[in-house]
Structure 1
């Protein structure tokens, strides 16, 4: 499996946080994210001096060059989303699913099938952005009705298309804000 595909599989596996949020609570989900960050940071430190069984293998398989702590931003985006939208678990979950599934789909499909770059961002492709939107919409529909899910997926796809390299924080937050506006104002 290619490095980036493996990385995106790990990225999408963050879906377990949605289940923690549904079956336990937003606070438990936030504490779980914090615990994961602290444990992984400790393992990073240990791994600098001696290889840690299995962790070193996963790290080599999915780490990008010059991206020492991308996973921290990944969890900050999720934690911030859980906190900001704790008043509506469905919105929080939909925003996280849009981020996890859409972002992974955009990378996998964009790299594999994307030929035409977006006119405003040459690092992103039309195929990748379309894949983001479709997969994010399907994920959001598991939590919300069509209109808020559609708006959230669209705002997430636009955010990803315009974003610089690290979009782990803005995608779920902007998607969550957009869906909240639809749910509470329409």
Structure 2
């Protein structure tokens, strides 16, 4: 997009993507520090927005394996950041506050680390021509994030098999993951990366429902849904796409 030399073009695309995503994170760090949103809501806004905005940047990269690898370095840098902050090697109170429940830096070694790892692997392995990549980021980011927000605000009826989860939250997750997936399918279809079919739409629906079911299971709460949901997307996605 930026140069006849693919390497240079991907480096420029990477720099622009870093600038966009870091600016987003800095904005949400400020909202967390200033108390603009409730801490749990601010954390979920980070969860929802980072991956979706990052995926909007994918067209700037080249189509081949180089583009996928360079793009994957962006969430990959967050893996390093989570490790350094989580182990206490670096200190950044704003980041910790915007990404954790209890302002404990060690929390970064669980959900946020799994989240960054999932985004990195979906990008590097599947890239923008794969429905699994679209479903992966949309269900991990939009689906899981919206589930928590709706579950806390509108969830009065608990799931019979998990009293920590609500019917409203699970329905919201399936809907958000599905509609976000279809939205990005249209986006990449418009750019010529994939072919949109009714079968693909049905596949996104199946994956989103499966992700919501997995996220609602008690074992998912124990292990962390940022780990179990990506695994569910890969498993079910490999069957339906």
Equivalent position of 2:96 in the other structure: 59
Within 2, Cα distance between the matches of 1:31 and 1:181? 28
Question: Do the aligned partners of 2:147 and 2:172 also contact (CA within 8 Å) in 1?
Answer: yes
Alignment check: 8 A CA contact 2:122 2:133 kept: yes
Whole-Å separation in 2 of the counterparts to 1:111 and 1:76: 26
Q: Distance in 1 between matches of 2:118 and 2:46?
A: 16
2:83–2:108 CA contact under 8 A, matched in 1:
no
What's the C-alpha RMSD, in Å, of the aligned pairs?
A: 2.2
- SS of corresponding position for 1:164: helix
Q: CA deviation at 1:169?
A: 2.0
Note the residue ranges of structure 1 that are not aligned, 5 or more in a row: 48-54
**Offset from partner CA, 1:28-74 (integer Å, 9 cap, x none):** 23211112222454455331xxxxxxx52342244223624231111
TM-score normalised by length of structure 2: 0.65
Structure 2: distance between partners of 1:7 and 1:129: 19
Asked if the contact 2:170/2:216 (under 8 Å) is kept, the reply is yes
Among 186, 189, 201, which residue is 1:146 paired with?
201
Larger-Rg structure = 2
For residues 22 and 181 of structure 1, do their structure 2 counterparts lie closer, same or farther at Cα, with a shift above 3 Å needed?
A: farther
Partner of 1:16: 53
Moved more, 129-138 or 168-177: 168-177
1:45 is aligned to 89
Match of 1:155 among 199, 210, 218: 210
TM-score, scaled relative to structure 1: 0.82
Structure 1 segment 7-156 matched on structure 2, within 5 A: 7-14=43-50, 15-24=52-61, 25-42=67-84, 45-47=89-91, 55-65=92-102, 67-69=107-109, 70-86=111-127, 88-142=129-183, 143=185, 145-156=200-211
Give aligned pairs, total.
176
